[in-house]
Amino acid sequence: MAEAAGPQWATWRVATERALYGEDGFYRRPPGPAAHFRTSVHASPLFAGAVLCLARAAGLRTVVDVGSGRGELLRALHALRPGLGLVGVERAARPAGLPEPIDWLSAMPEGVEALVVANEWLDDVPLDVVELTVDGPRLVEVDPATGHERLGPPPSGSDLSWLDRWWPLSRTGDRAEVGRPRDEAWAAVVRRLRRGIAVAVDYDHLRGDRPRSATLTGYAHGSQVAPVPDGSCDVTSHVALDACAAAGQGAGSTWTLLATQRAALRALGVDASLPDLATARSDPAGYVAALSRASQAGELVARGGLGDFGWLVQGVGTAVPAPLAQVASRTDS
């Protein structure tokens, strides 16, 4: 009888890349990510309405959706405004039934004039995990079949520089996720804009409030699970959006806004106020519809939920759109 194969150790970045985007990876399998977790796009069409509001305010006639899943945001935008130019960027094949006018690409196009939206995309850009030991930082390696870990060699010099700037480790046992690949991915998005606005929406942290432990986790079938990089679940972690912002500035953005989703969506017209109860008698159908919209809006801006997500908004060759002009930018303190 053949002996069972031993652990196939890899860094978290390598293992996650295979698990999510390999030939039979999590993001390539049907029915798609919507079967496993709920994003703002799935929560309500009000999110698509806010995206459309931002595009109109910026005078942009094309929306590029990076990390499109199965095209849910694009479908909603097409229903709201059929003449809007729509482009999906996704490694998975074009979804069945996607409206014909929507373009579907495997990579961000060059030289576009558009509003680019990356909703919960950066958290799925694979990266390495580092743990501080008495001998200095060490890469954490993982067995993709089991999720078991061991400490590996020191990180590269470029990763150590990133940690020093963005996520310094001070105590033995502290962990961090090295966000350099995400910075590079975001910079590539901004660099491809000839004119427009790029928006990243994700659960995040800033330098003044980094967690002591890494945030790596998994999601499958609507539940949070152990992050085993075998293709059975999403493997994800929070995003250092302030580091991505600096990378976007280096790539050519001329202004930057870091805000909560709650603040950004309210500025773009998402209103969770309950309708006047008096209208329930005079217009019961209208009251019920308004109550439903308020409930959906409430989920999008909820504290402790989707409303706490971070928005990184950066412009290239544009002014700050009027609806966002009064939104207070977050700091790293």
Please give the Cα distance from 247 to 220 (Å, whole number). 31
Predicted structure pTM score = 0.92
Are 75 and 41 in contact by the 8 Å Cβ rule? The answer is: no
Say how many CA atoms lie within 13 Å of 52 toward its Cβ.
21
Interatomic CA distance for residues 161 and 74, integer angstroms: 38
pLDDT tens series, the chain, 333 aa = 444 567 899 999 999 999 999 988 998 877 666 655 668 888 789 999 999 999 999 999 999 999 999 999 999 999 999 999 999 999 989 999 999 999 999 999 999 999 999 999 999 999 999 999 999 999 999 999 999 999 999 999 999 999 999 999 999 999 999 999 999 999 999 999 999 999 999 999 999 899 988 899 999 988 899 999 999 999 999 999 999 999 999 999 999 999 999 999 999 999 888 877 888 888 888 878 877 888 887 888 889 998 899 999 999 999 999 999 999 888 643
Cα–chain-centroid distance for residue 142?
24
Q: How many whole angstroms separate alpha carbon 182 and alpha carbon 52?
A: 26
Residues in Cβ contact with 79 at an 8 Å cutoff, skipping those fewer than 6 apart: 45
The full set of domain ranges for the chain reads 12-126+178-268+304-324
CATH class of 12-126+178-268+304-324: alpha beta
In terms of DSSP bridges, do strands 136-142 and 128-133 run parallel, antiparallel, or are they unpaired?
A: antiparallel
